[in-house]
């Protein structure tokens, strides 16, 4: 899960600074990933293997 978060963060940075066309999609994916991580932390579930 941490690897996925880092991967999405790198894509977000690339999208924000280099690819303005796909930047919107990457921002949406980042927001979804953050919401999922926060939701799992609130529920206290075990991490995804």
For residue 38, the model assigns a pLDDT of 84
Query: pTM for this one?
Result: 0.48
Is the residue at 39 inside a domain? yes
Q: Is residue 25 part of a domain?
A: yes
Flag whether 48 is in a domain.
Answer: no
pLDDT at 10 (0 to 100): 81
pLDDT means per 10 residues, the chain with 49 residues, are 77 69 70 84 71
Q: How many residues does the chain have?
A: 49
Task: Count structural domains, the chain.
Answer: 1
33 within 8 A of 4, measured Cβ to Cβ: yes
Long-range CB contact pairs, 19-28, < 8 A, 24+: none
Q: Could you list the residue range(s) of the whole structural domain that residue 6 is in?
A: 2-43
Per-residue DSSP letter, 13:
H
Judge whether 49 lies within some domain: no
Q: What is the CA radius of gyration of the chain?
A: 12
Number of neighbouring beta carbons within 10 Å of residue 24: 10
């Amino acid at each position: 899960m941490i690897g996925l978060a880092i991967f999405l963060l790198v894509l977000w940075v690339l999208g924000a600074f280099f690819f303005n066309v796909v930047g919107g999609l990457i921002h949406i994916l980042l927001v979804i990933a953050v919401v999922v991580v926060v939701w799992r932390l609130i529920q206290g579930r075990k991490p995804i293997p």
